[in-house]
Structure 1
Amino acid sequence: MRILVLGGTAFLSAETARQAVAAGHDVTCFARGTSTTPPDGATWVRGDRALGAAAYAELDGGWDAVVEVSRDPVQAGEALDVLGAVAAHWTFVSSCSVYADHSIPGADEAAELLEPLPAGQSGTPETYGESKSAIEQMTLAVVGEKAHIVRAGLISGPGDGTDRYGYWPARFAAGPGPVLVPDIPEAATQIIDVRDLAVWILQSAGGGLTGTYNALGDVVRFEDYLVESQRAAGTGAGDGVAHDVVRAEEKWLVENGIEYWAGPDSLPLWLPGDHDGFQARSNRAARERGMVLRPWQETLAATLEDERSRGLDRERKAGLSRETEQRLVALWRGRQT
C-alpha cells in the first residue's frame, strides 16, 4: 500500500509508520520533525499544519490509506478538505473520551457522545473529548464511506510518554520504601499495547475496514495490575524485597490534594467514582473484526523496560514525587494511631 501518516514521529503514529515500513509498504510521514524524525525507510515530507491547507502542497495524492491522529479540529478539517478525495481509505484515531457518560461498564460504540466543538474552533487540552468528537463528525461528513474511526482507550507499551501506565511498575522498581496506593482493588484498568493498535490500524486499512470501533484492551483488576507490577519489578511476595504497600482511602486522598488519573501529584489510573466505565468499555466489535491483543503482562513488562531505559528517578508527567509520597504516608499512618 501507499500510506500517508499525518505525523509519524511520536508514539502511535511513529509505531504505525515503523510497522508499515517493515511490512514493505510505501510510507510517507507528513510532520514538522521538531523533536524527532520519522522511522528509517519512510519518506519524510516536512510540513507545519499550523500553516493551513497550503501546508500539504508537496503531497501528491493517490494514497491507498491515510492515518490521522490529530486532536485539533481545524487542522483535521483542512487535511480532510485537501486529502480526503485522493485517499482510498481514511483512519482517524479518535478516543473513548468522546463519550458523554463514563459511568457504565461494558458500554459499546452506540453510547452517547459529547457535543462536538463548534466549527472553526481549535481544540485545547480541556476540550479534548469535544475536539475528537468534532473530528469524527467531520471525517464522516467528508470521507464517510471510506472512514475507519478508531476510538482508542489508554495506549501504552514502549515509547509511552504519558507516564501513566508505567508509573506503578516503575515505582516498585525504583527502590525500597512504602508505596502509597489508592484502596481500589476491584477497580478496572484497560490499556491497549501501541504495537497491537498499530497492527490493527494497518490490517484494517489493507482490508478496507470501515466503521467506528472501540480499540481497547481487556479489563484487568487494579489489584492484579499492582501485583504484576511488583512481580515484574522483582519486588513481589517471595522475592525477598517486597514493598510495604500503604493503601489509603479515596476520600482522604482527595482531601489531601491528590489528583486522579494523570498529572503532577496524581495516582495514575485512579478515577472518580462516576467513572466506573471509563476503563471498562466493550472491545467486542473490534475483536470480532480482527483486533488481536497480546497478554497484558507482556505489555507491562515492555513498559517497565522502557521506563528503566528512560530513568526510574526522572521527573515524571504523572504520579507522586518521592517526597510527596513519603509525606502522605506519614500523614496516613499518623491518623491510624
Structure 2
Amino acid sequence: MTFADASLTALRVFREVAERGTLTAAATALGYTQSAVSRQIAALERAAGTPLLERRHDGVRLTSAGRIVVRRAAGVLDQLDATARELAGLPGEQGTVRLGWFPTAGADLLPRALAALRRTHPAITVVSREGGTPALVRALRAGTLDLALVASAPPFRPPDTETPALALQTLAERSLRVAVPASHPLARREYIDVVDLRGRRWIAGSGDDRAMGVWPGLDERPEIAHTARDWLAKLHLVAAGCGITTVPGAIGAVVPPGVRVLAVRGGPGEQRRVLLAHLPGPLSDAAARVAAALREAALETDVTPATEGRPRSAASAGLFPDPA
C-alpha cells in the first residue's frame, strides 16, 4: 500500500486530529468512535510508511512527516470541497476567509473589524469561530483556519514550537486589569494597589483556563469562589457581588452595568498581547484585507492608562511583526 492509496476519509480524520489535539476530541467532533478514528490513523500511517503522530499523555503531536501530510491534505481537501460546491451551483470561496479568535477578542475587536470590512469590502465573507489559543494554533497548522487572533502573556514566547514558525503580528499590547463590583469599596478608587488583592474571592476560568481570572503572581493561594468558561458570565458574577476577576484593558467599554474595571499598581506590569497569526507565506487578497481591518480595529480600541480614550500611534500599538 502506498500513500497514493490513502482514503479521503483518513485524510479528513487526520486533519481533525491535528486540529483538536486528541483522538477523543476528534472523534467527538466527527461523530465517530475513538476506535474508528484510531483505525483511520493507523491506515494512514501504514500508507505513509512512517508514524505521523507522537502519542503523549496529554494528547498527540504531529511528527515531521505528520506536518507534511496535514499541510498537503488541507490543500487537497479544500480543493475537493470547493469543487463540490461549484458542482452544486454554489459560489466559490475566493472571497472567503476562515478566522479564529480567542474569547475576549469577540467583545469589541472582532465586531468592530467585521463591521468596517462589510462597509469597505462587502464581497469578502468571513467565517469565524471562537477557541482557546492552543486550539486555534492547531487549526492553523491543520489548514482549517487562514488567520487567528491569539493571546500572549509574558515572557511572550511563540504560541508553539512547531516548524516552520507561524507568522505573528502584534496588534495590541494591553495591561491586565481587575473587574470589581461597582458597590465594592475598591470601586471608589482610581486604581487598585496589588497588596489589596490579597484575601479576595476570585472568579476564575474553567478547565485548561482555570488560572484565567486570577491576578498572576499572588503571594498566596487564591480563593476561587466560582469558575466560568464564558468571560461575560464572569463579569455578571462580578456585578452580582460574587467576587472579582481579571480582564484585558480594552474590555472596559463593554462591561455590563454594576462592574468597574481598574488598573493595578505596585507590582510587576502584567501585559497581554493580541497577536494575529497565520502560516508563513503570502496571504490571499481577501485574507490580507481582513488582516488590515483587524489592525485598524485594534488601533482604534487600544488604550493604556496614560492615554485613556485616545488611540495610540501605529508604532506604539505594536503593529509590526515581533522580532521573534
TM-score by length of 1: 0.28
Larger Rg: 2
TM-score by length of 2: 0.29
- Which protein has the bigger strand share? 2
